[in-house]
Structure 1
């Protein structure tokens, strides 16, 4: 009698399974999803997804690195589940999800900084926000025009991509409407910006700070060789070196570095899936340790409990 019941039960479940052509939904510990991210966050996203897959071997992430707008478009058109970006969705972008009855989610995970890098031969390592404004207004064109300047030649502004978050952030910060009269050069990646600056003493490069801020990562140390990271002051007339700040962790967290920006994860997930599991790990679990290790400031620091015994 028992064996007959088990056979009938198996047949019923088999028939139900045959009638369902949909693949099983992913969940926080297993499945496969696509993530899109701005290329300036490549070291950060790579380490976070690798760490999560190390905890859950059946969790698989295909990460696509694109300029920020292209990455967001991938999510809007259902080609990616999550996006790592420096901004929230614009009203028209949110409308795309609303039309599909997708609520979506936005989670701030960190504070990042755009680092200004120069060739090691260039000792002009201090600059003010007012001077940067004049550079992007076209009033300052030469290194020698800077207050602390002793480098000769024109200032060449180097970015990773025409549509990158680095370029968009800087143009918005300095209210630049037209770049036609600026000496701007774009490459294809943050790494190429680093290589260009290393070879050109007159270059001023703009990169995501996580590319060079992980002191435990050999690649990060290698990329930072033969470069200087500029100190930036928000004061119009700084009088001492302490008035300048670099885009490293404490100055990001204490909001002293002027060219700081938020890091968000944007999601279109409609069920408790793998994307939500990754977000919880990053925002509320040990993922914040990785954010801190990369030199960024996590939104929610990871609590360490230390027991002291006699």
Structure 2
């Protein structure tokens, strides 16, 4: 009997030692996870993750910047825990998680805008949605065809990637199915779009506004030099400058800028871990102050309590 008890105890110790080899699960204050993000949100994601790691030094994020669909695919394949994107999952994509019995979560964190940027030498800084629709239908091909246009030459449309969220959003907005007849040039990043527009007066660039909207960030200020951000009017026949809006905070928040879009965090996290901690920080804590600082409009404003005493 004594030998049998010793044999059972030995098995128990072996099982416990095997179990101890497994790394502990991450939690909101500690661990390391991979995040996939659309490249147009790089300044936003960089500041949010850096701020969170500043509060929790043992929290580590490896951020991979990809075109939106690739970022979503990384999350679905379990190559990333979270994805920063502009849309919710489709029923088919949600089905991938359902098959693995993962509910997943979707959190809207901000309202963003696709900014239209032009060379500083180009004085045609106002455009209507109807004119843009005609540009993407091929009816307007020259800057001089715009209302009050003074710039000569053809309009070159510049995007960051063939599969970028910026391009997909604009094509969907104007119901464009075929771009073969359009003068479109793609680069490899939002930064390269900015550099291309800075060198080409005939270019019309499309970027995520958070690349140039943080007036306190030296990189943002540097990137915005020698550029104009176009004002866009939803009206068919605007009569004054106030009929045009830019993709900055107030016009995003008041839903006046017509090329606005949401920012979501998609999560596949199945336990209360580091991903959930970051989401809570961004959506319900001081992270919304960073979103506001970047010139975007937070989905849930950060409430500051002020106590007044006599």
TM-score between both structures, scaled by the size of structure 2: 0.95
SS of 1:63's equivalent in the other structure is strand
Task: Measure, in 2, the Cα distance between the counterparts of 1:212 and 1:276.
Answer: 29
Task: Report the counterpart of residue 125 of structure 1 in structure 2.
Answer: 125
TM-score between both structures, scaled by the size of structure 1: 0.95
> Superposition pairs for residues 161-310 of structure 1, below 5 Å?
161-310=161-310
SS of 2:33's equivalent in the other structure is strand
Shift of 1:307: 2.5
SS of 1:124's equivalent in the other structure is coil
SS of 2:49's equivalent in the other structure is helix
Task: Report the counterpart of residue 73 of structure 1 in structure 2.
Answer: 73
For residues 45-78 of structure 1, the C-alpha deviation after alignment (integer angstroms, 9 at most, x for no partner) is: 0000000000000000000000000000000100
Task: Measure, in 1, the Cα distance between the counterparts of 2:19 and 2:153.
Answer: 72
Q: Which runs of 4+ in 1 moved over 4 A?
A: 12-15
Unmatched runs of 5 consecutive residues or more in structure 2: 1-11
SS of 1:147's equivalent in the other structure is coil
Aligned 8 A contact 1:28 1:272 in 2: yes
Aligned 8 A contact 1:127 1:148 in 2: no
Task: Measure, in 1, the Cα distance between the counterparts of 2:92 and 2:252.
Answer: 31
Shift of 1:285: 0.2
For residues 18-61 of structure 1, the C-alpha deviation after alignment (integer angstroms, 9 at most, x for no partner) is: 33443210001000000000000000000000000000000000
Task: Measure, in 2, the Cα distance between the counterparts of 1:168 and 1:208.
Answer: 13
SS of 1:64's equivalent in the other structure is strand
Q: Per the alignment, do residues 13 and 249 of structure 1 end up closer, same or farther by CA in structure 2, a change over 3 Å counting? A: farther
RMSD between aligned alpha carbons? 1.5
Aligned 8 A contact 1:68 1:165 in 2: yes
Residue-pair matches, total: 301
Task: Report the counterpart of residue 29 of structure 2 in structure 1.
Answer: 29
Aligned 8 A contact 1:161 1:187 in 2: yes
Aligned 8 A contact 1:67 1:161 in 2: yes
Aligned 8 A contact 1:31 1:274 in 2: yes
Aligned 8 A contact 1:119 1:199 in 2: yes
